[in-house]
Structure 1
Amino acid sequence: MSSDIIESPISNITNLKNRVNKLYVPKTKSLLPLFEVISNSIHAILEKRILDKTFEGEININLIRTGSPDALKQLDDLDKYPIKSFEIIDNGIGFNNENLNSFKEFDSEKKAKIGGKGIGRLVCLKLFSKLIFDSIYIENNKFYERSFEYKKNSKEGFDKYSEKEVFGNLKTGTKVILNDFEEEYQLKAPRDIFDISRQIITHFQLNFIEKIAPKITVTNQNGNEIILNNLFSREFESEILDDTFYIGESEFKVYITKSYNALSHKILYCAHERAVKDEGLSKYIEDLRFAIEDNTDKNKSYHFQVFVLGDFLNQHVNEERTNFHFSDDDIDDDDEITLAKIRRHTIEKIESLLEDFLSRTRKEKIEQYLPIIQKEFPNYSSVIEYNREKVEKIPQGLTPHELDVKLYEIESEWKVDVKKEGKKLLEDKKDITKLEDYNFLYEKFWSEFNEIGKTDLARYVVHRRSVIDLLDRLIEWDENQDFYNEDIIHSLFFPIKEDKKSVIHDKQNLWLLDERLTFNNLLASDKTFKQVQELNSNSGDRIDLIIKQEEVFDKATLFSEDKNPQECFTIIEFKKPYRNDYQHGDVKKDPVKQVRKYMKEIVEGQVKKNGRKIEAGKTTPFYCYIIADITNTLESILIEETFTKMPDGMGYFRFYSEEILPYKAYIEVLPFKKIIKNARERNKILFDKLNIPSS
């Protein structure tokens, strides 16, 4: 029995049709309207539960497919037929006046307080022709029935509105029909009842996890039904990982689930069963950067979704449910809770809950990287041994260059930590009652300190191998089938137009020629004599390198018979690989003539230091290196100058005696191949120790 029907025209305070037309919903989100209606039903049930703590809510979802209802009831293969409409029935508080007013007003305060954005009905109208509402509710202790249609093809939206008082043994609740799927979305929508059920559970998984979801049943037109709560227990719950942590007195829960629809691994900070703030997880755990292949179905992959819940989050969420009212900074205060502290504890729990997966992933990753490290970066062996946990956390899929950078970062942090530990050990007072503990820390420090030294040495050895390989490459043709300019090759040995004041030790590679050249004091590179201030010369001639040997070198190798140290110079001249236009006697095209001219100028006193002549005479030894390939024109000059071929046949040498010349000199003419060969042989023992191929 009912009272008379009351017709009541109502409308939105906006142009509904325009808003729907402007709204964009991806085709892949075809079930979004269903999720919106289910969400409203859950809220209606929660409202009723506030009034009756024993109330048991239910939601029934009926799948209405395209075709004759009577015929569809008889089909066993019903799931292959497309879905036309969804019917959602709940036993919640009903479409009372408060809910109606909220529905009429976009961006209503009521929706904002429960985390809604006020566009759910627009999404529904974007994908369906209309929504049909029929609801029983209570106002002033009386039951009313309210029904209407909500259409997108009208400016106001509301149609066929009716409101009437009803009598009898009634219960509150609402039925909503999402009527007539738009074809473009219908084609992309799932049809299988199990697929639809699983997607509903995934969307509302936090409600199921927290056991606050009402009983939800999905029913086909042939009578087949799935109770989602049971499906969740059977297929989802067993794979959900959970743990708890405390910050002060506040308890926080962490749940980790698998999502086959999410696009990345995320941490979701929640309040009142809704995600308020999310963060990408790969920023904190590098191994959670890519989708994970499902073990049971190689064609499927998933991402972890980490939910963080707690009363503290519920109490400190803002009204819009878009953020929290507490700091994000990691404040050094045990009593103050910040997002940074919550995040840090959450990451610790994730590492613990996913320990098996992460350990397996990291082991596989390191096994992939080890061959690259052993071949190209053997200097990081100690870094890996002493920093295994950090190394295991570097990202997957790095290029060799990116891997080098990451390992270098870890090595740098390790060096700083060891130095700090050493400083602390030296500064701390030694407590004789804890001598055993002190000795343990001291031995640990020296063990790591020595390993760092080995790492630095290994890095230098790897550097040497790289320099040799680069020189080998530079003496080949370039992309234009021409040989590299001598300046480029020169720079590999020593930076052009630099001197010792501006070049640190590890920027030059004179060890390629002779290990002793590494310890020289005065160096000038590719400059005229007059540009080298230490030489104080007015000559405009250029030399590639002039090196003055002082105490360290002299004492090690050169003494006169009366033990007085003598000045010694090394001159190095570089020529372009395979140059073949040399001319005997031409100071510009005869490298032997060039270095002899340099020596003569020094001996004759044309070169000064601090305004005084350099004391160089007939007995002053000169070591000269001419770095040039032995082409026909150069070999002709060497034969003319009576040079002697070296035993290996790869170079020439000659002594110039002071008895016939105003200087004493030893000149070697070395082709690039010989320099590379000799450097590899000298460093072979070092390469072998690091398992680096010498060639």
Structure 2
Amino acid sequence: MDKLTTDTLLKPDMLAVLSRTHLQVNLHGFLLPIFEAISNAMHGIEEAFDDSASAEKIGLVKVTFKDWTDPHKIVVSVSDNGAGLHDDNYRSFKTPFSGAKLSQKGRGFGRFIAFKVFARVVYHSRFAFFGSTDVRAFRFDVNQEQELILLQDQPVFEGTGLAVTYDQPLLGWHDLIRALKADDITDEIGAHFLPYFLYRWLPQIIIQFDEGEPIDIRSRFQGMFKKFAEGTITCDIDGAPEELSYSLAKLPRTQQFKSHCLLLSAADRIVGTPRDLSNKIGQPFFFDENGERYVVIAVVRGEAFESRLNDSRTGINLGPRTVEDVVSHISDVIQREEHAQIDKIKSDQSVELAEALRENPILKLGLRGKTVSDYVKAKPNNWKPEQFISDLAIERYRATADLTKQIVAASANADNYEATIKQIVAKIDAGKKETLAEYVIHRKNIIALVEVARRFQDNGKRAPEDAIHDLVFRRFSDSASVDYFEHNLWLVDDALAFLPYVSSDRTLHGGRRGKGDKVTDLLFFDDSMILGDNDGTTLTIVEFKRPSRNDYAFGSEKDDPILQVINTLDKATAEGGISKTDGTYFSFANVVRRFAFVIADLTPTMIKVLHKHDFQNGWNPKVFVRYRERDAIFIQAFGYDTLIENAKKRNHAFFKVLLDE
């Protein structure tokens, strides 16, 4: 046999591609085949009428839903008056991932997505053929070896065009179909093609539900979406600057658009779910001059999105940091455009903070001479009094350090030392001294509660480590939801109280622990906290264990707390960040300092595990330490008795001076 010098590719295994394509069982997922059919209809209309002006004026897409809440009877069809499936279009239809579709910003995959929702798909087309017309009709079934089953039917419409009909929905969609609402379907279709309203032409699109009144999508939504700004932003995508175009529109607050949001556009349609901008802008909606609520919708598009659009066109392959960068840039644009609304937010924040400072006057030191308005202006719009108080607590701490430096400097000059000290002390008014005394009493009581928590209870059992964990920092929460005065991180180390972000017993993705959620099981054990600096340079892990526990085992993910700390570190740094309870993202990028505390009584098995991990306790028998060079992390391990003892020592001067102890 002669040796072959050429060969050919086999066609793609579309069933395998479909099996790897996931649709969410929601209204958007259900309507994806209809979206694809409408998009193809617009391509056919554009081809038939040559230019966008004619296509907009003459083009017609009709979407009909019959028996649409009965999954056993429902029939959905999309028809148009476009060019139809002539030979070239039919050849493209038969070619998965065709070049013709790529030239139209498509993927050549959309017609296959229908089989994730419906079992039966039928096409009818009439097209021009050498001065006359011809007809092409077939059932399309990707599950058959011969996928196109030719029919002798005639289209029910006049003139050229194409109609695609879907029925026999798959079982997994039946419950959703029973709950369908006409307004929700209409709004979802209009929102999906929002880019056409903002920067492209749109033919007439009519939706009809059974024998109801036809709904004109174009007239319904063109009056609703009012474009008021457009431009470009430059964002970092995969390490390179990319220019993206944006359009801003105002619309009345609706059930579908409850808050300001970012929509990503590719292939001239909305892709993925809206990104809520409330946290960045500061409020979910604004009020117009008539007191009516409205939201700002931002649509962002660019070539970088087109090249990262997945084949099913359900998402754009962008990392969370890239999305956060786009969100940040667009939020800045909206704030510039809506500066009057932002000024009102800042005014309200200033009033709320001024009220909070009347209750916590000691924190005014954190303003460092600024007015409340100037301080608030530089902070996020979504901050509530709790976030301001936490930030001012840190600033007060730094300002106190400055006072210390002044005292040290004054002590170097004996001649004016006494006068300088009196001048510095005069800055601390009576209200601040009273507030300080109350806080010292609070610390004394917290230490007493920890002592009680580690003893035997009335039932002869010890309290679980959760009780102490909650005293230090409430579990299943983070510093986005816990006020500075609601936690007691100073029990472990005073420096921890001033870290900008703390996550306590939460998953990286911010959701509940789910079955098979291996990241969660490995990363966050039942009693751990992760703390980080705002600039991402420090990561601290605190691991709590049950008082007097004595069943530790070296090398066990369940029973070796040192291994748990290392696994937590690995997962946290690999993930690169964590979703906060307020919906924003905290980055762990560029971590250069790593610390860990293991709070566990030094029982025989615990000491054995520490020795096997090469921990030392030469400088203090009650505190074991080790710097793991490979992981670049410094770990301290000590018991609850040491925790209490050190907390008392750090607060001894306060207790002595203020409480005469």
Alignment TM-score, normalising by the size of structure 2: 0.49
Between Structure 1 and Structure 2, whose CA radius of gyration is higher?
A: 1
